[in-house]
Structure 1
Amino acid sequence: MNLRLALPVTLVASSLVLAACSTDADEATSDSSAAAATDTSLTDVQDAGVIVVGTEGTYRPFTFHADGSGDLTGYDVEVARAVADQLGVEVQFEETQWDALLTGLEAGRFDAVFNQVGITPEREGTYTFSTPYTYSNGVLVTTADNTDIASFDDLEGRTLAQSLTSAFGQQAKDAGANIEAVEGWAQSVELLQQGRVEATINDKLTWLDYVTTHGENGLKVAAETDDFSRSAVALAGGDQALADAISDALATLSENGTLAEISGEFFGDDVSVEPAA
């Protein structure tokens, strides 16, 4: 009797499916291993002894040239230097305009970009990211003597200084506020201090930078948003080995207090940790 032919049809079909799944799994594992084997992003940097970092150099307080000395500095710049030190390599900064930073990654001009690159689903589809090293939420800023605005629920009918194209401007509109259009933070502060508007919603990093430079100057934060943005080191798509090494370096810098120290220098607060819920 031919036992192979006598096997139930369902059992034969199941066996074929299992075999196909096994083959697919083997192929997927092989593809994954091949991709990992061809990712030389970390060893390339290690062999060169230098990591080439793209940054603007004109984006205070993240990446700019210090008054007087002209030296390149800023939160992102100093984080990049600390990361390079952890990797055991030198850092070489290449300055260019924002629009050219991410395309420079794709063209191989940089190994990484340290320039407050926000993590978005669209960017994650093209680039590889480290773990975040900057978190920021929105803040509702008003004058220190204003007792009428204590939360976002108090904005209906109030006049706020906002950029018409910003998400914060839309948030103010959704809350029922009247909008006085401005070009940016500096104009918002001016209108607040002149009493021409009652508040403004802006990024917390902008507020912290202002306080570090000018003090609170008659202003205060009345409320903060629950949602927040994340910025990380951007690398070319597929450069996972280097991204992982940078993430490990950032973890070490967080644990030993270096990130908090750098953050405190430029913001007076630790922006490298996720905001408390």
Structure 2
Amino acid sequence: MAFFTDLNRRGGRARTLAALPAVVLLGTAALSACSDPGAAASGAASEGRSTTAARNGVVYNTSPDQQRIRGEKDAALAAKVPDVVGKDGKLTVATTAGSIPLSSHATDDKTPIGVELDLAQLVADKLGLELDVQVTSWENWPLKTQSGDFEAVFSNVGINAERVKLFDFATYRAAYMGFEAKKSANYDIKGADDISGLKVSVGSGTNQEKILLAWNKELEGKGKVPATLQYYSSDADTILALSSGRTDLNIAPYPSTVYRENTRDDLKVVGKVNAGWPAETVVAATTLRGNGLAPAVTDALNSAIKDGSYAKVLERWGLSEEALAESKTVTEETFAASQAGAAK
């Protein structure tokens, strides 16, 4: 797991720390953003409501009783599951459960829910496996996937050049990051110049942190004041800092920022950037490199796309605009070619 350590170490030298302690943001999706998960409040789940009617017309079910959209076992697909994965009859999936509508805890504070789990359920169903969900922190999934504790990760993981050295991927959603601010703000974030001198909260070790560090380097090269990156120990603290004015911006997976814009009265989305900036990336199920599981997951996702269950899951969580027309397997060998048509 050297590259994750190195990324964090480099980030530690480059970033400007706020007065608050710099800590790893636990249980967060980039995912993305992408696109690794970033700071995101749990919203309705933390407030105890079982449903939330949002301004975008989506009624979010945050109760433990999810009544997920299910798929049927496809014998041909099940036969493609590697023996090392299928021998126990389970698909062990990791998620960080920190960000509605990606993955979060239900109103019982223990049941993982969200679009990531719904898609993982479809894949498990198609492959004839029982879904075994394991909640973990963002910084732990890489090592535990390498060790075999997790067979797949569904947690808004974006594909990048470092990750393909250790993992294979089955793509399933577009990967964007959103900038959010107080509703009274007049920011329009499109690039580095727009964050100069601002205080921005971000998750440590994420794609969005990489974007901000690159933008700060660009600002310094122009002789402009870089942004101050701030790190918080919980999702609630991150959003509280934003809503109270202690930070100017938060960057997080775009679906989470849209959710808050549509369910809160004090925040709005003020910018959107691909999680793979300056290139493009997509969100993908993440598996151990070379173990043969990623192609089976890809085929299961394409089966779900074909029969319409995939579209129903995205619609359920208000993410239809992030649908992919086709799932593809991405490995280190195919990564460069995959960049040309990503996230469209």
TM-score bracket, normalised by the shorter chain, equals 0.5 to 0.7
1:179 equivalent among 227, 239, 244: 227
**Gaps in structure 2 of 5+ consecutive residues:** 1-79, 325-341
Q: Does 1:96 align with 2:136?
A: yes
User: Which has the larger share of helix?
Assistant: 1
Q: Percent identity?
A: 21
Provide Cα deviations, 1:57-113, integer angstroms capped at 9, x if missing partner: x42233332013742212211111111111122212233333432322332223222
Q: Distance in 1 between matches of 2:126 and 2:175?
A: 25
Quote the Cα distance in structure 2 between the aligned partners of 1:46 and 1:146. Answer: 51
Preserved contact between residue 140 and residue 202 of structure 1 (Cα < 8 Å): yes
> Which residue does the alignment assign to 2:330?
none
Correspondence for 1:135? 174
Number of equivalences: 233
Q: Give me the TM-score of the superposition, normalised by structure 2.
A: 0.53
Aligned match of 1:221: 270
Displacement of 1:186 after TM fit? 6.8
Does the Cα contact within 8 Å between 1:163 and 1:169 map onto a contact in 2? no
Which of 1 and 2 has higher RCO (CA within 8 Å, sep 6+)? 2
Letter in 1 for 2:115: Y
Give 1:245's aligned residue.
Answer: 296
The AA in structure 1 aligned to 2:261 is: V
Greater shift in the superposed pair: 180-189 or 226-235? 180-189
* Aligned-CA RMSD value: 3.8
User: Using the alignment, how far apart are the partners of 1:180 and 1:150 within structure 2?
Assistant: 15
Q: How does 1:1-277 map to 2 (within 5 A)?
A: 41-56=81-96, 58-61=97-100, 62-68=102-108, 70-130=110-170, 132-141=171-180, 149=188, 151-152=190-191, 155=194, 159-163=197-201, 166-170=209-213, 173=216, 174=218, 176=224, 179=227, 181-183=229-231, 202-214=252-264, 217=266, 219-221=268-270, 224=273, 227-240=279-292, 242-273=293-324, 275-276=343-344
Amino acid at match of 2:138: W
Give the letter for the 1:129 counterpart. Answer: F
CA–CA distance in structure 2, aligned partners of residues 69 and 99 of structure 1: 21
- What is the TM-score with the length of structure 1 in the denominator? 0.64
Q: Please identify the structure whose Cα radius of gyration is greater.
A: 1
Deviation at 1:232, TM superposition (A): 1.4
CA distance in 2, matches of 1:162, 1:98: 20
Counterparts in 2 of 1:88 and 1:98: CA distance versus 1, 3 Å? same
Q: CA deviation at 1:223?
A: 5.7
Using a 3 Å threshold, how does the CA distance of structure 1 residues 160 and 187 change in structure 2: closer, same or farther? farther
AA aligned opposite 1:97: S
Q: Distance in 1 between matches of 2:163 and 2:137?
A: 18
User: Contact (CA 8 Å) 1:141, 1:199: kept in 2 or not?
Assistant: yes
Q: What secondary structure does 2:172 align onto?
A: strand
